[in-house]
Structure 1
Amino acid sequence: MKKSVQNPREVAEIVAIQALSFIAGDPARLGRFLAETGIGPATLRQSATDPKFLASVLDFVMRDDATVKAFAEASELHPTNVAAAHQALCDPAWERDVP
């Protein structure tokens, strides 16, 4: 049985990891992401444990409406849920639950 996650920040990190997987699934998108972040493919997995890196993943996704919509559809989330996850990772004072 899966453990239910109630902490908004934990939920946001899960969404960011899903977004990273989504980015990695498209070579062109992954290339742009790696170029923007300056990290290499070898350090991508290790970087995924850093909350600041996860925030940058959602920054990348949120920058383009088409990317947000494609990720939301692929992950079966509403785009506002992606935005809420982004806000939860970027704003430590934010306390609303991320659905």
Structure 2
Amino acid sequence: MLRTSSPEPHDPAELALGALAWLLGDSLRAQRFLDLTGLTPDALRTSIAECPTQAAVLDFLSAHEPDLEGAADALGIMPEQLAGARRRLPC
């Protein structure tokens, strides 16, 4: 996908949700996310609209550069934009 380096920031919650969709597309990556965050699938489903869960998604991706780059590529943005979204979340 073509990456953009738009000066306009994307909505951080929207980026977190898009990144989560990418993350869950791989069962091993999804399991690693659940294991490292302590979330269960049910807890993830009920809390995805909450800022701390969205922050956990962005923190997880930022902690592993290949995941950050993969998610950013899937979202069509630069990895720096995805990592920077965490700072813009209101929590």
| TM-score between both structures, scaled by the size of structure 2 | 0.82
Aligned to 2:29: 29
Q: Is 2:12 the partner of 1:50?
A: no
Indicate the structure (1 or 2) with the bigger Cα radius of gyration. 1
> What do residues 7-39 of structure 1 show as CA deviations (whole Å, max 9, x unaligned)?
x6x800000011111111110000001111111
The sequence identity of aligned pairs, in percent, is: 33
More relative contact order, 1 or 2 (CA 8 Å, 6+ apart)? 2
Q: Is 2:79 the partner of 1:84?
A: no
| TM-score between both structures, scaled by the size of structure 1 | 0.76
> What do residues 52-73 of structure 1 show as CA deviations (whole Å, max 9, x unaligned)?
1100110000001111111111
In structure 1, how many angstroms separate the alpha carbons of the residues matched to 2:46 and 2:11?
19
- Secondary structure of 2:11's counterpart equals helix
What is the count of residue pairs matched by the alignment? 83
Q: Is there any run of 5+ residues in structure 1 with no aligned partner, and where?
A: 1-7, 93-99
1:59-70 to structure 2, matched below 5 A, reads 59-70=59-70
Paired residue type of 2:53:
F
Aligned to 1:20: 20
Paired residue type of 1:69:
E
In structure 1, how many angstroms separate the alpha carbons of the residues matched to 2:57 and 2:83?
12
How far does residue 44 in structure 1 lie from its aligned partner after superposition? 1.6
Q: Is there any run of 5+ residues in structure 2 with no aligned partner, and where?
A: 1-8
Aligned to 2:3: none
> What do residues 64-92 of structure 1 show as CA deviations (whole Å, max 9, x unaligned)?
11111111111101111102211112x76
